[in-house]
């Protein structure tokens, strides 16, 4: 029989779990429960009372064309920024893993962007991408009217995507590099001796062996792109022009806190939560099948 | 070690001196004042608070900046729900309807009466008082920092096209902008089209032309008011702005693009802007060396009888649920702010205008408007008092107006990006704005505006 170290009484186990449970309850279940309650009522902002409206809040949100536009914008943002951040990070990590000249320096420097707070980084990118004053002003000089995030929705979306991806390249890079370095050197050396080139070795050995990391980062990046985009959008575009970058999380903020529509914002955050849960389930159900855990 | 000792000694000395300076009588009653100004303006408010505390020994106001107007309202609401609200809070103009329905305030006129202060409410400029008063004229809050929109014009540029005066009609503006363009100016006029500019482009324009923003006298007469700017002269105005933009006579300037309107004007890049009189000081301080400029009232379309422009800014609300002693302090504080001398201090150090006739007279008699940096600001008072306020130019009393302003920005951006025609864009603004008003009305069933 297998020997196991266990506690004599189940109460001790519970006691150990209690601090964590309290934390989760206070900071997640309680507010989430409150949000569900608010989403089913119409709250007066000053607490003067509320009325039960059932699913009316959800109905009016889902009937609103602006909200669907916001969902589309969020999905576009999530897909492109996750793709960019992961591909660039993977390329950089693979090159660093090959111990090219200066790779020790890159290893440190490439992590920094993740340490920068979103609003600060958004402010920096706002300067860089400003069509009249920044780096893009030079491009506009050669090609007048090429870059105009003030009126062109696609340009504005590109700006926030670039800023967000730049930050997450750093985050993804750490994980990719760690995963690549965990691959036994002997495997790669053996393949090299068999005559396979760098690209071949990457696709046949490294890539399959880091799929668990890729999958993990995919889930995290998509989730974060729905949530962490707020600070960047707020500083760079405030949801404009003409709602082109009004991502779901930003719309929740502007409706709830600026517009004092607490119930509508609560309903939107429930929808956002469901959407993220759904996306995560889809990823686990269909993509995880192709992941090889060792 | 010695540093620590010295520090301790300094601390002890400091404590001792404050103890000595404090009056022998009872501790002053403390109360909180939250406000939404930041930077330079916050420092002026802090000085104002210090002056109040130094002027008497019974009360002590603790002034805290919450960063901006939105945050002030949000934080106050959160504090109120938790029973920790400040006694006095600064709420911006468009938050007035929300405040009136909140049931969370003590009416300012009642507060002053209960505490034995006689305030002559007819002393307030009617254009300012009516914005914050109920439809029956009661003052629920005290006007505080106030401004209105003006047209800033570059005298040097206009001299080049043979003009010595600012255009008075929009027809003239069109001709002058064309002439400026032909004279080689790349940016005759700058505007911005975010939600913030709803104030000068839509609200001020509509008031001056006596055009409604919404039914029910702009919402003063009921929560069932709905938007109607898609049927007014505003449509013509946006059509003209768009036409001038397409012809290169108007450029869009915003911080996101690199330079905001005020900077563009102060550096001489753009020759005409419309912005708050509050920017008068900024332009003066940051202008290109030797540039000659002036301010004028916003233009009207030819044949329009000019009405008063609207006030912008914020008022001071006293919240419910505080002790009598705190209310006494709040009343003393509001009385202090009402004083003409405070008005002079306030307007000198900020760009805001005095809110009372006596304050304005006091400032005029002390020669404020004759001196160079402040000369021209009296135009704001002229604009605000161009006429007795009509039912429509009293102000705008609509729920969640912040969101309607945001919608204004959205639709203007769509119009200027050629995604929608002018009429379609303004129709969409009305449709989406009405949905916001619907929702506000549903949130407050069986309630009416005071």
CA distance B74 to chain A (A): 6
Contact B403 A43 (CB under 8 A): no
pLDDT for residue B177 is more than 50: yes
Report the percent of chain B where pLDDT is more than 70.
94
Q: Does A47 touch chain B (CB under 8 A)?
A: yes
| Distance of residue B137 Cα from the nearest chain A Cα, in angstroms | 24
| Same fold across B28-147+312-374 and B154-309+399-443 | yes
Pick the residue from chain A with its C-alpha nearest to B192. Answer: A150
pTM over 0.90: no
Give the pLDDT confidence score for residue A158 in this predicted structure: 95
B83 touches chain A (CB under 8 A): no
The residue among A31, A47, A144 with the most chain B CBs within 10 A of its CB, best to mutate, is: A47
- For residue range B75-94, what is the model confidence (pLDDT) as tens digits? 999 999 999 999 999 999 98
Give the distance, in angstroms, between the CA of residue B417 and the centroid of all CA atoms in the same chain: 29
Residues in A closer than 8 angstroms to B68, CB to CB, are: none
Between the alpha carbon of residue B115 and those of residues A37, B62, B209, the distances in Å are 42, 20, 41
Over 80: is that where the pLDDT of B69 sits? Answer: yes
- Cα B67 from Cα A64, distance rounded (Å): 32
Looking at the domain covering B28-147+312-374, what would its CATH class be? alpha beta
Interface residue B84 vs chain A (CB under 8 A): no
Give me the residue from B74, B259, B419 closest to A242, CB to CB: B419
Flag whether A11 is in a domain.
no
Residue B412 has pLDDT above 60, yes or no: yes
Mean pLDDT across chain B: 90
**What length does chain A have?**
294
Domain residues for the domain of A168 are: 64-290
For helices A135-142 and A118-129, angle between their N-to-C axes, nearest 10 degrees: 30
CB contact under 8 A, B411 and A133: no
Q: Which residue of B has its CA nearest to A254?
A: B403
pLDDT at B332: 95
Q: What pLDDT was estimated at residue B447?
A: 84
B79 and chain A: CB distance < 8 Å anywhere?
Answer: no
d(CA A115, CA A228): 13
The interface pTM score, or ipTM, of the predicted complex is: 0.85
Does residue A19 lie within any of the structural domains? no
pLDDT at B325 over 50: yes
Superfamily of chain region B154-309+399-443: Periplasmic binding protein-like II (3.40.190.10)
Question: Which A residues in the span 206-235 are in contact with B, Cβ-Cβ below 8 Å?
Answer: none
Considering only alpha carbons, which residue of chain A is nearest residue B99? A46
Q: What is the DSSP letter of B132?
A: H
Which pLDDT tens digit goes with each residue over B210-264? 999 999 999 999 999 999 999 999 999 999 999 999 999 999 998 888 889 999 9
pLDDT at site B11:
47
Q: Is residue A264 domain-resident?
A: yes
Asked if residue A78 belongs to a domain, the reply is: yes
Residue A250 lies in a domain: yes
Q: What is the CATH number of the domain that holds A122?
A: 1.10.3720.10
pLDDT value, residue A3: 66
pLDDT score for A294:
61
| Number of structural domains in chain A | 1
- What is the bridge-based pairing of β-strands A41-43 and A50-52? antiparallel
Residues 6+ positions from B53 with CB-CB distance below 8 Å: B28, B59, B60, B61
A183 found inside a domain? yes
Q: Could you report the per-residue pLDDT of B139-154, keeping only the tens digit for each?
A: 999 999 999 999 999 9
Give the residue ranges of chain A where pLDDT is below 70: 1-4, 7, 294
Domain segments of chain B: what residues?
Answer: 28-147+312-374, 154-309+399-443
Q: Say whether B259 and A133 touch across the interface (CB within 8 A).
A: yes
In chain B, residues with a C-beta closer than 8 Å to the C-beta of A53 are 442
Q: Which residues of A touch B406 (CB under 8 A)?
A: 239, 254, 258-259
pLDDT in tens, B52-66: 999 999 999 999 999
Per-residue pLDDT of A221-235, as tens digits, reads: 999 999 889 999 999
């Amino acid at each position: 029989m297998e020997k196991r170290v266990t506690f004599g009484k189940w109460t001790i186990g519970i006691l150990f779990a209690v601090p964590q449970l309290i934390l989760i309850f206070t900071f997640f279940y309680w507010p989430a429960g409150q949000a569900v309650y608010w989403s089913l009522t119409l709250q007066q902002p000053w607490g003067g009372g509320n009325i039960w409206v059932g699913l009316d809040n959800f109905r009016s949100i889902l009937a609103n064309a602006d909200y669907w536009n916001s969902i589309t914008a969020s999905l576009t943002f999530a897909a492109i920024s996750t793709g960019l951040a992961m591909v660039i990070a993977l390329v950089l990590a693979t090159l660093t893993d090959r111990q090219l000249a200066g790779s020790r320096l890159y290893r440190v420097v490439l992590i920094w962007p993740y340490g920068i707070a979103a609003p600060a980084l958004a402010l920096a990118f706002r300067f860089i991408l400003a069509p009249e004053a920044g780096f893009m002003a030079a491009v506009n000089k050669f090609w007048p009217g090429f870059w105009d995030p003030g009126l062109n929705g696609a340009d504005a979306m590109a700006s926030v995507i670039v800023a967000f991806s730049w930050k997450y390249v750093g985050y993804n890079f750490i994980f990719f590099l760690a995963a690549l370095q965990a691959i036994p050197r002997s495997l790669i050396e053996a393949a090299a001796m068999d005559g396979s080139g760098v690209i071949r070795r990457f696709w046949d050995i490294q890539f399959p062996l880091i799929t668990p990391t890729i999958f993990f980062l995919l889930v995290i990046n998509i989730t974060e792109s729905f949530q962490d985009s707020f600070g960047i959008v707020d500083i760079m575009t405030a949801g404009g022009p003409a709602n082109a970058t009004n991502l779901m999380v930003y719309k929740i903020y502007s409706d709830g806190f600026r517009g004092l529509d607490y119930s509508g914002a609560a309903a939107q955050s429930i929808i956002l939560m469901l959407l993220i849960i759904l996306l995560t389930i889809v990823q686990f159900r269909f993509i995880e099948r192709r992941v090889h855990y060792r | 070690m010695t540093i620590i000792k010295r520090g301790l000694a300094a601390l002890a000395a400091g404590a001792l001196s404050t103890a000595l300076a404090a009056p022998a009588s009872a501790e002053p009653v403390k109360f909180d004042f939250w406000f939404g100004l930041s930077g330079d303006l916050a420092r002026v408010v802090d000085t104002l608070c210090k002056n109040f505390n130094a002027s008497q020994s019974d009360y002590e106001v603790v002034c805290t900046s919450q960063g901006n107007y939105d945050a002030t309202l949000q934080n106050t609401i959160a504090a109120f729900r938790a029973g920790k609200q400040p006694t006095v809070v600064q709420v911006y103009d468009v938050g007035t309807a929300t405040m009136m329905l909140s049931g969370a305030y003590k009416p300012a006129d009642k507060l002053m009466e209960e505490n034995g202060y006689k305030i002559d409410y007819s002393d307030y400029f009617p254009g300012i008082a009516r914005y914050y008063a109920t439809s029956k004229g009661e003052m629920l809050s005290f006007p505080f920092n106030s401004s209105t929109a003006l047209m800033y014009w570059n005298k040097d540029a206009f001299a080049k096209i043979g003009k010595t005066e600012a255009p008075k009609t929009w027809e003239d503006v069109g001709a002058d902008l064309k002439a400026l363009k032909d004279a080689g100016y790349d940016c005759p006029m700058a505007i911005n089209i975010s939600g913030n500019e709803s104030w000068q482009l839509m609200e001020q324009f509509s008031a001056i032309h006596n055009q409604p923003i919404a039914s029910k006298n702009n919402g003063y007469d009921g929560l069932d008011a709905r938007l109607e700017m898609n049927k007014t002269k505003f449509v013509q105005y946006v059509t003209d702005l768009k036409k001038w933009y397409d012809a290169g006579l108007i450029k869009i300037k915003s911080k996101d693009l690199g330079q905001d309107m005020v900077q563009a004007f102060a550096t001489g890049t753009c020759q005409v802007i419309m912005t708050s009189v509050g920017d008068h000081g900024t332009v003066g301080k940051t202008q290109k060396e030797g540039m000659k400029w002036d301010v004028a009232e916003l233009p009207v379309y030819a044949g329009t009888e000019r009405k008063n422009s609207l006030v912008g800014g914020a008022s001071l609300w006293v919240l419910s649920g505080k002790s009598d002693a705190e209310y006494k302090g709040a009343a003393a504080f509001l009385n202090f702010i009402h004083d003409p001398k405070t008005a002079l201090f306030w307007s000198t150090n900020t760009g805001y205008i005095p809110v009372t006739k006596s304050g304005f007279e006091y400032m005029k008699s002390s020669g404020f408007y004759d001196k160079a940096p402040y000369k021209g600001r009296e135009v704001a008072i002229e604009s605000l008092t161009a006429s007795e306020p009509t039912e429509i130019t009293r102000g705008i009393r609509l729920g969640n107006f912040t969101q309607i302003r945001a919608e204004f920005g959205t639709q203007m951006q769509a119009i200027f990006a050629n995604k929608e025609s002018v009429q379609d864009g303004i129709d969409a603004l009305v449709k989406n704005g009405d949905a916001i008003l619907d929702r506000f009305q549903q949130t407050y069933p069986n309630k009416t505006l005071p």
